[in-house]
A and B are shown apart, each in its own frame.
Chain A
Amino acid sequence: MSAVMKDKAGRQPPKKLSLKQNYEMLTRGLGWEPSYQKKEDIYSKLTYEGIHIHDWSAWEDPFRLTMDAYWKYQGEKERKLYAIIDAFQQNNGQFNVTDARYVQAMKIFLNAIVGLEYASHRGFNMLSREFEGVGPRVAAQMQAIDELRHATTQIHALSHYQKYFEGMSDFPQQFDRTWYISIPKSFFEDAQTAGPFEFITAISFAFEYVLTNLVFMPWMSGAAYNGDMSTVSFGFSAQSDEARHMTLGIEVIKFLLEQDERNVPIVQKWIDKWFWRGYRMLAVLAAMMDYMLPKRVMSWKEAWEIYFEENGGALFADLERYGIRMPKYYEQTIHEKGHMSHQLWSTFYQLRKAGGFGVWLPSEEEMDWMSEKYPDTFDKYYRPRYEYWRELEAKGEPFEFEGLPQLCQTCQWPCLFTEPEDPTQLCFRHSKYKGERYNFCSDGCKDIFDDEPEKFVHAVLPVHQILKGEYFREGADPRAEGFDPMFEALSYMGIKPGVDGGLFSEHVDAKKWEEWTGRPANIHEGPVSDAVRKTG
C-alpha cells in the first residue's frame, strides 16, 4: 500500500519543491559531458592559470533565481526606478542637490563608473562562456546582466545632469582617454585580460566582497545626504543586485580553496595583488568622501576602520582555516589612512587645469572637521599647506604644479603617496626589466609588476603617451606653429581646456548654478557671483 495521498481522480499530487530544489531541477542538469568535441577544446581557458577543479557540481549556488522570477523581480524594480527618474527630470531635480560642488563629484562617477560596470559586464560574460560547470556559469551570467543593468541605469540617471553641467557629456571618450580614469580602466582591463579564475577572484572577491562597501557608502549615502534623488533611487535599486554579487564573491573563494590545496597559494597571490590594486583605485573615493561631498557622511579613515579593519579582519580570520592570511601590505593601508585623502586632494588641486572638474580649497569649517576626524595628521601635515594656499589664492596667485607628474606603472596614479613610515617623504620605487626602468608609487605596486612584467610593460600611461606625442587628436600637428601640447592632450582626453577643470570659484558650473538656483555654489563660502540674492 502506498502511503502517498491520492486525489479524487486517483492521481498522485505533484511533489512540493522548495525554491532551492526547484532551482536545481530547472538549472543544474542542463549541461552534459561532451563526446563529439574534446572538453579541453570547448573549455580552453581553464587550465593555464594552474587552478585545479575536480568537481564543478560542488559549487553552491548563491543566487538560486530562475529566469521567470528574475524577470518579474527585476522588471518591477525597473518600472519603479524609471518612474522616479522621469519625475526627477520633470521637476529639475538636479537643482535639489546641496550645491554645485556635489556635481563635481558626480563627474568622476559618471565618467569612470559606467565604464567599469560595462567592463565588469563583459568580463562576467566571458566567464559565462568559459566555465565548465552550469552553476558557476549561471552565476556569472546573472552578474553579467546585472552589471549591464547598472551601466544602463547610471547613464539614464545621470543623463539629465549632463545637460545642465559641464564635464559629463563625453563619458565614453573620457573613460578611454582621461589620465586619472586610466587608473580604474587599467584595473578592470588587468582583470579582464587575466584568466577566468583570476578575474573572478579579483572582481567578485577582492573588489565586490572586500571593498564594495567602501564604494557604495560614500556614493549612495553621499547622494542621500546631498539630495541627489536620482542616484539614491538607482543605489537602492542596485543594492539587492550587489547583495547577490557579494555572496558570489565569498562562494567563489571557498569553492576554489576547497577544490585543491594547490589552489591556495595562487589564490593568496591574487588576493594580495587585487587587494592592493583595489585599495589604490579607491584612493579617489577617499578624496571624494573627505573633500567633495558638501555634506559629509563619514571620513575615509572611519570608513576604512569599519569596512576594512573590522569587517575585513573578521573575514580573513574566518579564511585562516583554508590557509589564507591577510592581504600583503594591509598594514600600510592603516599607516596611510590618515594621509591618503589629503595627499590626493592636494594633487588634484595642483593639477586642476588638467582635471575634468572644478576643485577648491577646504573652508575653515571643513578644515575644523578634518582636524577632528584626523587628529594625528591633519593639523600637523595638511592644514598648514592649505592655509598657505588660501593665502596665495587671496593674493590672486593660486599655487599650481607646472609640468607632468610621474605615473606609477602599475596603479597609474602620479607618484603622490608618501613613505609608509614617513609622511614627509614621497615614496618612489623602481624596477628594471629588459633594460628599461619602471617607476612605482609603492612596494605593493612594484611587487605586482615584478610578478608579471611582461603584462605590465603594456600599460598605456597617459603621461608617457603625451611625451611620445601620441595622446593628441587625429590631425593634430606637434610641429605646427603655436601648437599647445596641453590644450591638445586635454582635448584628446575629452576635457574642455579652460572649461572643465580649474578653480571651482571660477567654474562655469558655479556661475550657472547661482544664476539658476539663486543659491551659493559652495555652501561653505560666499557666493561666486552676483546672482545670489542677498537676504536679511
Chain B
Amino acid sequence: MVDIKTSGVKPLRTGFTHLIERFGDKRPPNRYQEATYDLQPTVNFHYKPTWETEGERDLYDARRTTIVMNDWYDLKDPRQYYYGAWTMTRAKQQGALDQQIEFVTKRDLLGSLPDQAKAQIVWGIVPLRHYEWGANTVNSQVGAYGFGTAITSPAMMQAMDRLGMAQHLSRIGLFTDGNTGDSLDQAHGHWMNDAEWQGLREQVETLFVTRDWFEAFVAQNLVADSYVYPLFFSHFEAQFTRVYGASLSILTDYLLEWQKEVARWVDAVIKTAAKEGAENQQLLETWVSRWRAAFEEAVSPLAVELLGGDEAEVVLDEINADINKRIAKLGVA
C-alpha cells in the first residue's frame, strides 16, 4: 500500500476575515456563510438613485422598510441555501415530480377526467398561476430593494420558486385541455372577471403598490400563503379527491411540500425581526392583522364556491386556528 502523504503546508488562515470576525476561527466558515455575509456594499455609494421617489436614499438603504435591525445578517435562512444548495435541492425534487408527471401523462389521468372535474380544476386551481406570478413580483421586490444578502438572496430564490410553481400550475391546466392552452385562457378569464376571484386579485394588486418591502414580504409569504395554500391544495384538493380520485393530488402535493419547506425560512425571518425589539414586534403584529383581514375576506367567496357554505366556514376556522398557532410561535400574535 502506498501512503498518501499530505504536504504539510499549513494555511495562513481558516477563512475570510469578515467571517472570522463574525464566527471565530475554530471552524472554517461554511459555504452558506461565504456566499451570504457582508456581500452587499455598505459604504461609499457613488450616485443617488435616479428612480428613487421616497427622498434621499442610497442604492442599498435600510430605510426602505420601517423594520429596524441592528444587524440585517441576523435574518438568516435556516435552510442555509446558497445558489448551489438551492438549485441542487430543487433539481432533486423536480426529478421526483417528473416521475409523477410521467405517471399522470402516461395514463392521461387529468385529460380523462369527466368534464365537470376538469372545469373545477380550471376554475379552482389554474387561476392560481396568476397568484404565483404575483408572488414572484413581490419576492422580486424583496430581492431588489431588501437590505442585506441574508434576506435578498433567499428572496431571489423564492421568486424563482414562485415562477416554477406558476409554470407547474399552468402545466396542470395543459393536462386538462390536451395542450391547447384553452384552460389557461379560461382561467385567465376567471381571474380577471369572476366575482369570487376579484377579492384575491385586488389584494395581490395592492401588494404591488406596497412599498415597504418587509411588509410585502410578510403579507405575501406569511399571510396570503397561509390562506391560499391550505385552502386550495389541502382542503379543496381533499374534496376533489373524494369525488374524482387522487389524480390531481399527485400533482399538487408538490406545492404543499414546497410550502412547508419555505415556511421554515419565512418563520425564521419574522421571528428574528420580532425579537429584535418592541417596535418591530408591534409593526409586525399590525401588518399581520391588517393583511389577515384582507386575505381572509378575499378567499372567503372562493372557499364558499369551492367547498360550499358550511364546509367553507369549518375550513376557514381551521385555517385561522393554524395561523393563530403559527403567529403565536413567531411572537407576532
Q: Which residues of A contact B (CB under 8 A)?
A: 9, 11-17, 25-27, 29-37, 41-42, 44-45, 48, 66-68, 70-72, 74-76, 78-79, 81-82, 92, 95, 114-115, 118-119, 121-122, 125-126, 128-129, 134, 137-138, 141, 144-145, 148-149, 151-153, 155-156, 159, 162-166, 169-173, 175-177, 182, 185-186, 189-190, 192-196, 455-456, 458-460, 465, 512, 516
B112: chain A residues within 8 A (beta carbon): 9, 11
**Bound CA span A72–B174, Å:** 21
Q: For residue B177, which residue of chain A has the nearest CB?
A: A14
- Nearest B residue (CB) for A77: B87
With A72-B95, A75-B91, A195-B50 known as contacts, the answer to whether A155 contacts B35 (CB < 8 A) is yes
The contact sample of 7 A-B pairs, CB cut-off 8 A, is A32-B201, A44-B53, A74-B91, A141-B159, A163-B15, A175-B41, A189-B46
Contact A177 B44 (CB under 8 A): yes
Asked if B143 is an interface residue, CB under 8 A from chain A, the answer is: yes
Report Cα–Cα, A174/B82, bound state, in Å. 22
Residue of A nearest to B167 (CB): A26
Q: Is the CB of B91 within 8 A of A45?
A: no
Does B289 lie at the interface of the complex (its beta carbon under 8 Å from any beta carbon of A)? no
Q: A122-B152, A148-B156 are in contact. Are A456 and B47 (CB under 8 A)?
A: yes
Residues of B within 8 A of A67 (CB): 90, 160-161, 163-164, 167
Contact B170 A192 (CB under 8 A): no
Partner-binding segment picked from B4-12, B228-236, B240-248, B265-273: B4-12
Docked pose: A68 CA to B16 CA in angstroms: 35
- Shortest Cβ-Cβ A-B pairs, 6 listed: A75-B91, A67-B164, A163-B11, A30-B133, A15-B179, A129-B140
Since A126-B144, A194-B50 are in contact, a sample of 4 more A-B pairs with Cβ atoms closer than 8 Å, ordered by chain A residue number, is: A14-B179, A141-B159, A189-B59, A458-B48
Q: Which of A125, A455, A512, A516 has the most chain B CB within a 10 Å cutoff?
A: A125
**Which B residues lie within 8 Å of A176 (CB)?**
41-44
How distant is the Cα of A182 from the Cα of B47 in the complex, in angstroms? 12
- Option from A159, A165, A170, A458 in Cβ contact (under 8 Å) with B18: A170
Identify B140's interface contact among A44, A141, A149, CB under 8 A.
Answer: A141
Contact between chains at A189 and B83 (CB < 8 Å): no
**Nearest CB to that of B188 among chain A residues?**
A29
When the two chains form their complex, are residues B178 and A92 in contact, meaning their CB atoms are under 8 A apart? no
Question: Which residue of A has the minimal Cβ distance to B97?
Answer: A68
Cα distance, A137 to B11, chains bound together (Å): 44
- Bound-complex Cα distance A379 to B88 (A): 54
A95 and B11 alpha carbons, distance in the complex (Å) = 12
Q: Is B141 interfacial (CB 8 A cutoff)?
A: yes
A163 touches B13 (CB 8 A): yes
Chain B residues 110-162 with CB under 8 Å of chain A are 111-112, 129-130, 132-133, 136-137, 140-141, 143-145, 149, 152-153, 156-157, 159-161
* Complexed CA–CA distance, A459 and B59 (Å): 13
Q: Output the least CB separation between B202 and chain A (Å).
A: 4
Using a CB–CB distance below 8 Å, which chain B residues touch chain A? 7, 9, 11-18, 31, 34-35, 38-51, 53, 59-60, 82-84, 87-88, 90-92, 94-95, 97-98, 105, 108, 111-112, 129-130, 132-133, 136-137, 140-141, 143-145, 149, 152-153, 156-157, 159-161, 163-164, 166-168, 170-171, 174-175, 178-181, 184-185, 188, 191-192, 201-202, 205-206, 208-209
- Closest B-chain residue to A516, C-beta based? B9
Q: Could you say which residues of chain B place their CB within 8 Å of the CB of A456?
A: 47
In the complex formed, the residue of B with least CB distance to A134 is B133
Bound complex: CA A153 to CA B48 (Å): 30
Task: Please name the residue on chain B nearest to A454 by beta carbon.
Answer: B48
Closest B-chain residue to A91, C-beta based? B7
Are B180 and A128 in contact, CB atoms less than 8 angstroms apart?
no
**Could you say which residues of chain A place their CB within 8 Å of the CB of B7?**
92, 516
In-complex Cβ contact of A68 among B15, B164, B209 (8 A): B164
